[in-house]
Structure 1
Amino acid sequence: MTDTVLAQVMAELAGLEDPNARRINEKHGDDHGVNLGKLRALAKRLKTQQDLARQLWATGDTAARLLATLVCRPKAFGRDDLDLMMRQARVPKVHDWLLNYVVKANPHAEELRLLWSADPDPVVASAGWALTTDRVAKKPEGLDLPGLLDVIEAQMKDAPDRLQWAMNHCLAQIGIEHAEHRARAIGIGERLEVLKDYPTPPNCTSPFAPVWITEMVGRKQSR
C-alpha cells in the first residue's frame, strides 16, 4: 500500500467533512464531521485492504480510524495489536466500532475480555464488560454469573460513566437472559438506582436496569 493511496483516501474523507455533522457528533464526544452512511459507502468501494486499514488507524484521525474498522480483516490482528488499538480508541464511536466490528470477530476476543475487564483504565475495562455482556447473551457457559453480579453490586455505583454504562448493560442482560438470576439483578438495579433518571425518548426502553429487564422479558413472553 503506497502513501499515495493513503493520501487519496484521506483527501476523500476531508471532502466528506460536514460542519453540521461535526457539531452533532461532538455532542457525543465524536470529533469528526463525516456522515456515517457516506463513510460506509466509501468502505464498500475500497473493499477489504488490511495494509490500508493499518495506515488509516496510524493517522490518529477519527474518521480514518472508523474507516479502518470497516476495511480491515479482523482476524489479521494479533492480540497485542488489538490491545494497543483499544487503548488508543478514546473516541466513543471508534471504541464502539473497534469492539463490535473487529474485536468480536477476532480469535483473541475471549483472552482480551479477561484482560480488559479488570483493567485500571475504565474505558478499556468497559470494553471487557461489553464483551462479557455479549457472552451473557450468546455463550454463557463457563461464566460465573453470581460472581459478575457481586462485582456489579460492589462497583457499578461509583464507576466512571462509560464503565458504569457497560456494567449496567451486563446487569440488565443477566436479568433478561437468565431467569434464575432475574430477581437479584432487578434488586441490584433498584438499590443502586444507576441511570434511574436517565432521559429516555418516547418509544425507547429506559436504561434503568429494572425497567429494561421487565420490558424485554415481557416482549419475549408475548411473542
Structure 2
Amino acid sequence: MSETTVAEVMARLAVLEDPRTREVNEKHGDDHGVNLGKLRALAKELKTQQDLARRLWKTGDSAARLLAILICRPKAFERDELDKMLREARTPKVQDWLVGYAAKKNPHCEELRTAWFADPDPVVASAGWALTTDRVAKKPDGLDLSGLLEVIEAEMKDAPDRLQWAMNHCLAQIGIEHPEHRARAMDIGERLQVLKDYPTPPDCTSPFAPIWITEMVRRRGDG
C-alpha cells in the first residue's frame, strides 16, 4: 500500500461523516460522526492491513482509529505499543474497542492487564478492570475474587465515571459467574447504590449490579 492510502481512507471517512451521528456520539464523550455499521463495512472492504492500521492510528482522528482497530492484526502489536495507544485513546469508544478487539487478543494481554489495573490514571485503570472482568468470566483461575470485591467495596463509590463503570461491571460479573461470591456482590451493590438510578430503556437490563446479577442469573436458570 502506498502512503497515499491514508489520505484515500480519510476521504472515505469524510464522506461517511454524519452531523446527527456526531451529535449523538458527543453526548457519550465520543468525537466522531461515522455510523459504526458503515465503518465496519469499510473495514471489511479493506481487510487486515497492519501497516495501514498503524498509520491511521497516527492521524489522531477517532473514526480513523476505530477503523485502524478493525483492520489491525492484534497479535502484531508490541506491549509498549499497545500501552502507548491506550494512553492516546482518550475517547470511550476508541478505548473500548482497543481493549476489546486488540489488547484481549494480544500475547501481552495479562501483563498489560496487571499494569493497567494498578495505573494511577483512572482511564488507564478502567482498561485494566475491563480485562480483569473478561478474566472473571472466562479464565478466573488465579484471580483473587475476594480481593477484587474488597477493592470495589472500598473504591467504587467515589471512583471517576469510567473507572466506576468498569468496577461495577466487574462486580456484576463476579456475582453472575461465581455463586459463592454472589451474596457478597449483591450486598456491595445494594449498599453502594452505584448506578441505581441510571436511565435504562424498558427492553434493557439496568447496570445497577443487584438487578443486573439477578436478571442474568434468572436467564441462565442457575440461581
- TM-score, normalised via structure 1 length: 0.98
Aligned equivalents of 1:222, 1:112: Cα separation in 2: 33
In the TM superposition, what is the alpha-carbon distance from 1:222 to its structure 2 partner?
A: 7.0
Partner in structure 2 of residue 140 of structure 1: 140
In structure 1, the residue matched to 2:73 is: 73
Could you tell me how far 1:20 is from its partner in structure 2? 1.3
* Cα distance in structure 2, aligned partners of 1:45 and 1:218: 41
Give the corresponding residue for 2:203: 203
Partner residue, 1:129: 129
Task: Kindly report which structure 2 residues correspond to 1:47-196, keeping only aligned pairs within 5 A, or say none.
Answer: 47-196=47-196
Structure 1: gaps of 5 or more residues? none
Letter in 2 for 1:47: K
For 1:51 and 1:222, the matched residues in 2 are separated by: 46
Q: Which runs of 5+ in 2 are unaligned?
A: none
Q: Aligned residues: percent identity?
A: 78
Amino acid at match of 1:108: H
Q: How does 1:11-30 map to 2 (within 5 A)?
A: 11-30=11-30
Shift of 1:129: 0.3
Residue-by-residue CA offset, 1:131-185 (whole Å, 9 max, x unaligned): 0000000000000000000100010000000000000000000001101001100
CA–CA separation in structure 2 for the residues paired with 1:198 and 1:97: 23
User: 1:218 Cα deviation (Å)?
Assistant: 1.1
Aligned-pair distance for 1:3? Answer: 2.0
Alignment partners' CA distance in 1, 2:13 and 2:199: 34
One-letter code of the match for 1:17?
Answer: E
- Residues 39-87 of structure 1, C-alpha deviations (whole Å, 9 max, x = no match): 1111111111111000000000000000000111000000000000001
Give the CA deviation at 1:6: 1.0
Q: Root-mean-square deviation (CA), in Å?
A: 1.1
Cα displacement (A) at 1:2 = 2.5
Partner in structure 1 of residue 37 of structure 2: 37
